[in-house]
A and B are shown apart, each in its own frame.
Chain A
Amino acid sequence: MTRRRPTSLRRRLVIQLLALSAVLSALIFLAVRISADRASEETLDAVLGAAAVSLAEAMRGGDRDGGSVTVDLSPVTFSMLAAMGEERIFYRVDLDGRTVTGYGDLPLPAELPDALAPRFYTVGFRDTELRVAAVRRSLMVAGRPAPLLVLLGQTRDGQEAIAEGLANRAALVGLVVFSAAAIFSLLAAGSLLRPIGTLAEAVGRRGPRDLRPLRDQAPAELSPFVTALNGFIARLRGTLSQTETFIAEAAHHIRTPLSVMRNEAELALRETSDEPARARLRRLIRAVDEGARSAGQLLDHATVLYRAGQQEMAEIALGPLVAALVERSRPIAAMRDITLLPSLPAEPLRIRGDAVLIEAALRNLLDNAVKYSPPDSAIDIVLATLAPAGGGAGAAMAEIRIADRGRGLDGAAPQAFTIRFRRGSNVGDVPGSGLGLTIVAEAAAAMGGRFDLSPREGGGTCATFALPLPG
């Protein structure tokens, strides 16, 4: 079975409009041609008829018996005959049923004309076709009236040439009309489909995490789709929000007893000197810490997913935010004699973003750096602006680089660390949930930013979190 290509509304509309204009142009062509033909024939007939009448009137009957006729050609008759152009003229004059002059074999009309009202007909004569005007009058010959029939025939070669010219002109008119209609139909298709295009673009431009309702003005015909789409988005938001609330509640109910457990274990540890019991208590505290940490990371993850969907961007001064976060990490770092060395620019570096997402991302990165750093080492935190890659394409970025002297990536691809619950091969016995870097990557993606891990020269890891600067 072959799969049909999806139909394009635009193509269908254009094809239909073009077909319609083609039919219209053909009709215009025919109408112009037929009426032009008819008009030219009528004109020529009028001249031919007038010439025939003029000829008939120029006849003077002789006085003697025997039927002599005199033709007194006036200049008007002449000029009329001359006006007939390059055509050949044939004539026949019958007096009293007898041909007195001209071509006796010029066919007579099927019906004799009434008096001087010319009767026109087309006949084949010799090897050509003639248009003939026939008129009749009575002529006084030898004192008595005798019927006079004048036939004036004319070839119509010239008229055919004229008709051909007219046909060409009519075709040209048809072509012009068709082209105009084609241009118009393209424009019409474009303007009709523009709202659909706008809507499609608005939907396509959204990131996969953007769960704001569509607000673009859609034409009435499309509004059911927009309403349905917004309905789905609202339901998804509701589900995410419920998940976040649920995890927050769950975390609260788990963390309070965990705190009691940890404190009691620590107190017991201080009170006993029995080594096996102490070892057990230490393992208990470790497990509590790990459980609490996982609960926290799960909640952070849910929060990041939810906030990423909300896209509540505000103006944020990145410099002070990074400075505050570094200050907040100092006590933990100092516990292991790790020094944090921030290098921040003088200007605040304003960006558009979600402070909660940035906080979650940077705190995870700082926690990781501290966690995996050896004691007595230093962590560099650099905030800098980065010109667009390739010298123009894309936006300038604000980049935060956190470089530690920890155990590095162990040769693994940086992307491997952002997979949920996936941890490095060299984490050893450092506890962790495998969610931290997933959170960072998701936060970066939600704000149109970028997150990279790279091995640091001389050992350690460099984490880069970059956010676009407003253009």
Chain B
Amino acid sequence: MRFLLVEDNRELSASVAMRLALDGHAVDAAATLAEAADCLAAASYDLILLDIMLPDGDGRAFLARHRRAEDRTPVIVMTARSAVSDRVDALDTGADDYITKPFDFAELEARCRAVLRRRGGEAQSLRSYADLVFDPFAATLTVAGESRDLRSREMRLFELFIAAPGRILSKDHLCDRLFSFSEPVSDNAIEVYVGRLRKKLAGSRTRIETVRGLGYRLTDQAGQGGGA
């Protein structure tokens, strides 16, 4: 996905951009409303992340102009003020959603996904591996042509596996991505979700393997001549 990040704090902007890049997204960063307008003129984006207080104006004014120009790119407002009236204002001006700084990237992802799904999710990229086809926005998985519904956590877990098929993902890494840091997590929580995901993958030639002491990986059994 391609993001336009409008944020004047350089450090914050850099860390958000890097964090999104790690998840495989392309990010253009703009520090002012003028830069943002230039970016929008030059490229098209899947989503705009917009700060409210910018050196050359109010993000809400930008938002209003953006909406008047009938640009359908969804906008998520990032606000540090968090005053209730600011949030209400942002939505009234036409933001698709808002998120309060500092935010959990899992929450940002969840909100992006919800916004894109509401918007019809036109430019979404279907991902496929072996006999699996995954639509991250519709949250559907097709196993050998047969559609399966995934719950949110199963989907996020599966997204991690399908982003790097064959690579071993550690339990800790999966835990950090799947659970919020403020949530108490039991040791076997990941095993529970991996178990569920395995059930959803039943009938596929892929498998989620346990690599003892290291973690899990998604493999295509066909290549190794084995059966499920």
Which of A's residues lie within 8 Å of B, judged by CB? Answer: 244, 248, 251-252, 255-256, 258-264, 266-267, 269-270, 273, 275, 278, 282, 285-286, 288-290, 292, 295-296, 299-300, 303-304, 307, 324, 328, 330-332, 334-337, 355-356, 359-360, 363, 375-376, 428-431
Q: Which of B26-34, B106-114, B127-135 contacts A (4 or more CB under 8 A)?
A: B106-114
On whether A431 and B182 interact (CB within 8 A), knowing A260-B12, A267-B22, A328-B97, the answer reads: yes
Are the C-beta atoms of B83 and A286 separated by less than 8 Å?
A: no
- Specify which chain A residues have a CB less than 8 angstroms from the CB of B100 in the assembled complex: 255, 292, 296
Question: How far apart sit A336 and B185, CA to CA, in the bound complex (Å)?
Answer: 12
- Which residues of chain A come closer than 8 Å to B111, judged between CB atoms? 331
Residues in A whose Cβ lies below 8 Å from that of B180: 335-336
Complex contact A335–B88 (CB within 8 A): no
| Chain A proximity of B107: nearest CB distance (Å) | 6
Of B16, B18, B114, B184, the residue contacting A330 (CB under 8 A) is B114
Q: Is the interface of A mostly helix, strand, loop or mixed?
A: helix
Q: Is the CB of A335 within 8 A of B110?
A: yes
Given contacts A260-B12, A356-B85, 19 further A-B contacts (CB under 8 A): A244-B83, A251-B80, A251-B82, A252-B81, A255-B80, A256-B80, A258-B101, A259-B15, A259-B103, A260-B15, A263-B18, A263-B19, A266-B105, A296-B82, A299-B83, A304-B84, A332-B110, A359-B84, A429-B184
Pairwise interchain contact A292-B101, C-beta atoms closer than 8 A: yes
CB-based nearest A residue for B16: A263
Contact present for B88 and A263 (CB under 8 Å): no
Residue B138, interface by CB 8 Å = no
Q: Is B217 engaged at the interface, CB distance under 8 Å to the other chain?
A: no
CA–CA, A289 and B107, complex, Å: 13
A335 to B85, CA, bound (A): 26
B170 in contact with A273 (CB, 8 Å): yes
Q: Please, which residues of chain B bring their CB within 8 A of the CB of A356?
A: 84-85, 88
Query: Which A residues touch B103, using CB under 8 A?
Result: 259, 262
Kindly state the interface size class of chain B when it binds its partner: 35 or more
User: B147 at the A/B interface (Cβ < 8 Å)?
Assistant: no
Q: Provide a sorted-by-A list of 5 A–B residue pairs whose CB atoms are within 8 angstroms.
A: A248-B83, A252-B81, A259-B12, A299-B81, A303-B84
**Nearest B residue to A364, CB-CB:** B84
* Bound Cα distance from A335 to B178, whole angstroms: 8
Report how far A45 CA is from B87 CA in the complex, Å.
Answer: 103
Minimum CB–CB distance from A57 to chain B (whole Å) comes to 112
Q: Bound complex: CA of A334 vs CA of B180, how far in Å?
A: 12
Identify the closest chain B residue to A428 (Cβ): B184
**A273 to chain B: which residues have CB within 8 Å?**
170, 172
The one of A258, A259, A337 in contact with B152, judged by C-beta atoms closer than 8 angstroms, is A337
B-chain residues with CB within 8 Å of residue A307 when the two chains form the complex: 85
Return chain A residues, CB-CB under 8 Å to B183: 336
Known A331-B110, A334-B110: A263·B15 in contact at CB below 8 Å: yes
Tell whether, in the assembled complex, residue B87 and residue A359 are in contact, meaning their CB atoms are under 8 Å apart.
Answer: yes
Q: Taking beta carbons and an 8 Å cutoff, which residues of B are in contact with A? A: 9, 11-12, 15-16, 18-19, 22, 53, 80-85, 87-88, 91, 97, 100-107, 110-111, 113-114, 151-153, 156, 170, 172-173, 176, 180-184
A332 to chain B, nearest CB (A): 6
Contacts of A430 in B (CB 8 A): 182, 184
Closest to B152 in A: A334
- Tell me whether A289 and B182 are in contact (CB under 8 A): yes
Nearest 8 Cβ contacts at the A-B interface: A263-B15, A259-B102, A331-B110, A334-B152, A255-B80, A262-B102, A259-B101, A285-B181
Q: Which residues of A contact B80 (CB under 8 A)?
A: 251-252, 255-256, 259
Q: Are B19 and A266 in contact (CB under 8 A)?
A: yes
Contacts of A324 in B (CB 8 A): 91
CB neighbours (8 Å) of A252 from chain B are 53, 80-81
CB-CB under 8 A from A261, the residues of chain B are 102
CA distance A299 to B16 in the complex (A): 25
**Which of B22, B176, B180, B182 has the most CB atoms of chain A within a 10 A radius of its CB?**
B182
Taking CB atoms, residues of chain B closer than 8 Å to A290 are 182
| In contact, A278 and B19 (Cβ under 8 angstroms) | no
- A390 to chain B minimum Cβ distance, whole angstroms, is 34
Q: How far is the CB of A117 from chain B (nearest CB, A)?
A: 104
CA distance A375 to B81 in the complex (A): 30
Distance from A261 Cβ to chain B, minimum over Cβ atoms (Å) = 7
Q: How far is the CA of A275 from the CA of B170 in the complex (A)?
A: 12
Assess whether B82 is in contact with A331, with CB atoms less than 8 Å apart: no
Q: Is the CB of A270 within 8 A of B102?
A: no
Contact status B88-A270, CB under 8 Å: no
Chain A neighbourhood of B84, CB < 8 A:
300, 303-304, 356, 359-360, 363
A273 to B170, CA, bound (A): 9
Distance in angstroms from B213 CB to nearest chain A CB is: 13
A297 CB to nearest B CB, Å: 9
Q: Is the CB of B153 within 8 A of A335?
A: yes
